[in-house]
Chain A
Amino acid sequence: AQSVTQLGSHVSVSEGALVLLRCNYSSSVPPYLFWYVQYPNQGLQLLLKYTSAATLVKGINGFEAEFKKSETSFHLTKPSAHMSDAAEYFCAVSSLDSNYQLIWGAGTKLIIKP
């Protein structure tokens, strides 16, 4: 069965520092991978997705993620954190294993310190 693990329910970084949010997945077949962001009191919106093309994926708001098959990882990064990045971030996977339904990680709340 597919699963997604996000390391760290809360991650705190200083404004201007590197953001690194970790996501590991399990899938017996090639997956599609997603990062969604949820701002306070809002629904989720897509940040970026991996669809078996380039392994380094660029998304909105300066975020990017790299698909590493050997490590079964899809970590999200941003070189310089901004106060407006404070939100909860969710990693999700879908594949034939899950009948293409999204399987979600538990989420990581990103806290930005001034």
Chain B
Amino acid sequence: EAQVTQNPRYLITVTGKKLTVTCSQNMNHEYMSWYRQDPGLGLRQIYYSMNVEVTDKGDVPEGYKVSRKEKRNFPLILESPSPNQTSLYFCASSLGAGSSYEQYFGPGTRLTVT
């Protein structure tokens, strides 16, 4: 089954404790992206990747890191989480960026930082 998977689905952590949220897709998509969703703000893009070893900042990259060493994986790293990073995070992938490619979303990771 074609899908985007994220782990963990739920995470409660403390300020300053490094964490990684994994994202994997099995559709051989070139493009992957991370978003955060906050009430009343819709989705805001954190980072995206056009292909392996190619990543770029989105609208809200501060406090986050990403890497794209393999085509299928695009982990999101919070080196020193803070309470303002409490949010719902989505990973998405598509055949490419540009034009009208549909993005496929993972189920989301709900992160709480205390």
Contact = CB atoms under 8 A, between A and B. Distances in A.
Contacts of B92: 43-44
A51 B40 CA distance: 27
Contacts of A105: 42
Interface size grouping (class) on chain B: 20 to 34
| Interface bin, chain A | 20 to 34
Nearest to B91: A43
A43 B90 CA distance: 7
Contact of B42 (A41, A45, A90, A94): A90
B95 interface: no
A106 interface: yes
Nearest to A109: B39
Nearest to A43: B105
B44 interface: yes
Given A43-B4, A102-B45, A49 B103 contact: no
A51 B42 contact: no
A49 B94 CA distance: 14
Contact of B107 (A43, A50, A94, A99): A43
A106 B42 contact: yes
Interface of A: 4, 9, 32, 34, 41-46, 49-51, 90, 92, 94, 99-102, 104-107
Interface of B: 4, 33, 35, 40-45, 48, 58, 90, 92, 97-100, 102-103, 105-108
